[in-house]
Structure 1
Amino acid sequence: MDNKTTPTNNHGKQMRSVAMGAAFLMAMAAVGPGFLTQTATFTGKLGANFGFAIIICIIMDVVVQLNIWRIIVVSGKRAQVLANEVFPGLGYLLSTLVAIGGLVFNIGNVGGAGLGLNVLFGISPENGAVIAAVIAICIFIVKNALKAMDRTVQILAVIKIGILIYILFVTKIPFQAAATHAFTPTKIDFYSIVTIVGGTVGGYISFSGGHRLLDGGAKGIKDIKYINEGALTGITLASIIRIMLFLAGLAVVMEGFKLDPANPAASIFLHAAGNFGYKFFGLLLFASGMSSILGSTFTSTSFLDYAVNERTTALFKKYRNSIVISFIVFSTLIFYFIGNPAKVLVLVGALNGFVLPIALCILLVAVRKKSIMGKAYHHPLWLTITGWIVIAFMAYASVDTLFELF
C-alpha cells in the first residue's frame, strides 16, 4: 500500500512546488518597471476611476491564465508548437510577436534594475544595468537553475510587498473614493485597460507560468489541480501588488500632488515618505527589474524551443544557456548605449494587449482539436465562452486604442 501511494504523494508535492514557482514567475514577470510606470501613470491620469480598469484586468487575468495554462499543460506542448499544429507556420509568427515584445520589455527591465541601483547607491544607471544583467545570468547558469530562479523571484516578491505595506502605512488611503469609482466609474479609458491587461497577462507573461509548469514536469489531465492553484495564486499576487500601488498613488494624487510624468512611480514614494521613501522606491525598482528580467528571459527564450522529441529537446537544452545569455546581454547593450525607453514601457504594454487576443484565439482553436488535446479532455464551457468574450473585448479595445494613439 505504502509503495503504491508514495510516488503519487511525491508527484503531488513536486507539482505543488512547481505550481508555486510558476505562480511567482508569472506574477513577478508582470510586476516589473513597466508595471510600476503604467500603474502610476494611469492613477495620475484617471484618479479613482483607474480602480475600474484594475477590476476588469483581474477578471480578464483569471480567464486568460486558466485557459492558456490548462491548454498548454494538458496538451504537454509549448504554445508555439500548438500554434504550428493549428496552422503550419503560425507558431513562428507567435514566437516573433512574443519575442519582440519580451525583448523590448527586457530593455526596460534591465534599465529599471540599473536605475534602482542608481537610487540606492548612486552608481550610474548604465553600470547598475550591467550588474543586474550579471546577477541574472548567474542565476540562469547555476546548477538547478529553475529552482534558483523560483527562489529568487519569491524573495523579490516578499521585498516588493513589504515596501508597499510600509508606504500604505504612512499615507492616508482614500478607501471610499477608490471603492466607489471602482464599481461606478465616471470615466472609462480603454487605453488603460488594454495596457494593464497587456502588462499583466499579455505577450510573454501569459505563457510564463504554463511553460514553467511544462519544464517542471507537469503534463496531462492529472495535473489540472496544480494548474488552477498556480494560475490563481499568481493572479492574486500580481493583483494585490497593483492594488497596493494604486492606493498609494491615489492617496498622493487626492492630496493635490501632481505626479512627475518623467517618473510617476518615484514621485509617489518621494511625496509619501520623503527621501527615505525614495530609497525604498529604489529597492522596489531594483527588485521589480530583476524579477522581470528573469521572467522575460525565461519565457521569451522558451519560444525558440520547437522540440517535439527527445533528440530535439536535448539539442535545445544544450544551447539554452547561450541563448539566455545572448538575450540578456543584447538587452543590456541596447540600454547601455541608447538609454532607457521610458515611454516604451507603457507602449509595449499596449502592444502586448494586441498580442493577447491573437494568442488566446490560437489556443482556443487548438483546444477543440482531439488530435492535439487527446480524446479524454473536455475544456470547461465557461472557460471557452469567457475566453472568446475576452478575445472580442481586447480586439475591440485594442483597435479603439490604436485610433487614440494615431
Structure 2
Amino acid sequence: MPAQMAIPATAGETTAENPWPLHLLSEKLKAHIERAPSAWVEGQVIELNRRANVSYVTLRDIDAEVSLSVTVWGSVMAAMERPLERGARVVAQLKPDFWVKTGRLSMQSRDIRPVGLGDLLARIEQLRHTLAAEGLFDADRKMKLPLLPHCIGLITGRNSDAMKDVLRNTSLRWPAVQFEVREVAVQGVNAVARVSGALAELDANPAVDVIVIARGGGSLEDLLAFSHERLIRAVAAARTPVVSAIGHEADHPLLDEVADLRASTPTDAAKRIVPDVAEERARVQQAREHLHRRIHSLIERETERLHQLHSRPVLADPAGMVTVRQEDISRLRSHSWSAMGASLDRHTDNIRHLLAQVTALSPQKTLDRGYAVVQLPDGSVVRAPDQISRDVALRIRVAAGEFAAVVADPGKTPLPA
C-alpha cells in the first residue's frame, strides 16, 4: 500500500490526486463565514412561517427584485414590541451561518425591528431638507405648463381609477387632446424603477407636451415610491413639465415638491392641464360680442364726428371761404390801385414842379430873354472883350438858333457894371 500523502494546506494546492476531504472544506467554509461581521439591513417581509421555536422569514429589498431567507429564533421574536406581520417594513441584524453537516448557508437574525411610521416620516423629512438645500424645490426652476397641450403623457397604475379619471375628465374638457399612457407599478419594490423608466421614455418623446404622474391616494407606505430620491431627481431633470396627481391630501410626497405643478387629485389634474372647451367657446363668444360693441361704438362716434365736421360752414359751403378771400383780394387790389394812383399823381406833380424849376433855370430860358452865347472857334465861351481880336470868326447862339460873325473892331471897353 502506498504511503499516505500530506493534506494540502490551502485550496489552491489541492489536485485530483491529492484532494481535500469534504469535511475539511465544510469546516474551512464555516470558519471563513463565521469571521464575517453581522450587518443591519432593511427590507419588507413577504413571507412569514412560524414554527415551534423558530420562524422562517423572507425579506425583499425595498427597491430591487432581491430577496433573502432569514432564520429568526423565538427569543428574538419574543423581544419585539409587537408581533411581526407579513408586509411589514423592518430592519434586521443578520449574521451568516454555515451548517457543516448539510452544507447549508443560512442567515441568522440576532435582532429585528419594525420600521415605524415615525421613522419613515423622519427619513422623508431629512431627504426633503437635503433636496431643498440643493434647490430642487425652488419655484424659479419650475416650468410653466403649455396653454393647450396636444399630447399628454400619463404614468399611472394598470387599469386604475386614477387613469380613468384623468382620461375621462380631460377628454370631457378638451376632446381633441391625445394621450401617451404608461401603465406601471405605482407601489412596491418595482414602483420607483417602473415610474422612472416611464418618465424617461415620455420625456424623450418630442410629441409629449406635459407628463402626469397619477395615483389615487393610499397609505404612507403605499406612497413611499413617490418620495424616493431616485424618482425625485429624475423628475427634477425632466425637460418636459411634470404634474403630480397623487391624490393624498393628508401627506405630501416629495414628488409634490419637485413637480412643476401639484394637483390635489387626478381629476384636479385633468382640470388644470387643459382648458374647458365650453368655457373657452363662451369666452370667445364674449370676446366677439365685446369686440362688436367696441367697433359699433367706434363707428357711431366717428360718424357723429363726421356729421359735426360736415355741419361746419367751411364744409357746408366750401366755396364761401374762397368767395370771402376773393372779396378781400379785390378790396386790397382796389386799395392798392388807389394808393398807387395817388402816389403817381403826387410824384407827377413833384416832377412837374421840379421840371418847371429846372426849365426856369436852363440856358434856353436865358436865351429866350434876349441873351446870346458867343463862342470862339475853339468852342470856348467869350467872357471878356480881351478874349477876341480883329477878324476872328465867332459863333453866336441865340434863342432861335445860331449864326457866325467876324470881329471888325475888337473894342476893349468893358461893359458898365
TM-score band w.r.t. shorter chain: under 0.3
TM-score by length of 2: 0.19
- Bigger helix share: 1
- Bigger strand share: 2
Structure with greater contact order relative to length (CA < 8 Å, sep ≥ 6)? 1
